[in-house]
C-alpha cells in the first residue's frame, strides 16, 4: 500500500525507483527492506565484477582479498550499500564502469569505448543527479584520453559522439518534467 506509481516523480533521477519494483514482488519481503536488499545486491554485483577483472589481469588471491577488504571497509562503500539508497549503490557501479571505460580509452585507444562512455553517461544521468557535474568535468579532459590522431582529424566528432546520448537523456528528462510537473 505504500508503493504507488503516482508517487514516482521525475524531478529526481528515477531509474533506481524502477529497479526496485522486482524487489517489492518478492513474497514475504517487507516493502521497507526492498531498498536495502537492492543496495546490497548492487554492491555484491560490483565486487564480483571487480574481482573477476582483477583475476583476468592475473592478480593473486591474497592481493585480491586484501583489496576486497579495503573496499568493503571504505566508509562511502559501506554507506552506499547499507543505507538503503539504491541511487548511491547504482552510482558506484556506473562510476566504476565510467572509470573502466576511460582507462580502456586511454590505454588501448579502443574506438568503441567512445560509444560505451557516451551510453554510460546517459544511463548515469538517470541514476544520479551528479552525472551532470561529471559530464561537465569530462569535456575539457577528453583530449587527454582521446587518441591524438582522432583529436587532430575531427575533434568535433569526438565531442558529438560523447555528448549526444547525454544531451538526449537530459532533454527527454526535462521534457517529461515539463509535461508532468509543469
pTM given for the model: 0.83
Predicted local confidence at residue 164, as pLDDT: 94
Residue 8 near residue 179, CB atoms below 8 Å: no
Predicted local confidence at residue 2, as pLDDT: 59
Predicted local confidence at residue 129, as pLDDT: 80
Chunk the chain into consecutive blocks of 10 residues (it has 182) and report each block's average pLDDT, rounded to whole numbers: 53 76 82 87 94 93 94 93 88 92 81 88 88 90 85 88 91 81 68
Between the alpha carbon of residue 161 and those of residues 134, 142, 167, the distances in Å are 16, 12, 11
Q: How far does Cα 145 stand from its chain's mean position? A: 20
DSSP state of 27: T
Predicted local confidence at residue 104, as pLDDT: 85
Closest among 126, 121, 92, 125 to 8, alpha carbons compared:
126
Backbone angles phi, psi at 21, to 5 degrees: -55, -45
Amino acid at each position: 500500500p505504500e508503493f504507488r506509481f503516482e508517487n514516482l516523480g521525475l524531478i529526481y533521477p528515477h531509474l533506481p525507483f524502477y529497479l526496485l519494483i522486482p524487489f517489492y514482488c518478492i513474497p514475504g519481503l517487507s516493502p521497507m527492506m526492498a531498498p536495502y536488499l537492492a543496495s546490497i545486491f548492487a554492491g555484491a554485483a560490483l565486487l564480483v565484477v571487480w574481482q573477476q577483472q582483477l583475476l583476468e589481469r592475473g592478480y593473486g588471491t591474497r592481493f585480491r582479498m586484501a583489496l576486497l577488504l579495503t573496499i568493503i571497509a571504505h566508509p562511502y562503500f559501506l554507506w552506499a550499500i547499507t543505507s538503503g539508497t539504491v541511487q548511491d549503490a547504482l552510482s558506484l557501479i556506473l562510476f566504476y564502469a565510467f572509470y573502466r571505460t576511460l582507462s580502456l580509452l586511454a590505454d588501448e585507444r579502443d574506438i568503441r569505448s567512445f560509444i560505451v562512455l557516451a551510453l554510460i553517461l546517459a544511463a548515469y544521468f538517470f541514476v544520479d543527479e551528479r552525472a551532470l557535474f561529471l559530464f561537465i568535468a569530462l569535456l575539457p579532459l577528453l583530449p587527454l584520453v582521446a587518441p591524438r590522431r582522432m583529436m587532430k582529424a575531427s575533434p568535433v566528432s569526438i565531442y558529438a559522439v560523447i555528448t549526444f546520448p547525454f544531451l538526449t537523456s537530459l532533454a527527454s528528462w526535462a521534457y517529461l518534467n515539463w509535461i508532468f510537473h509543469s
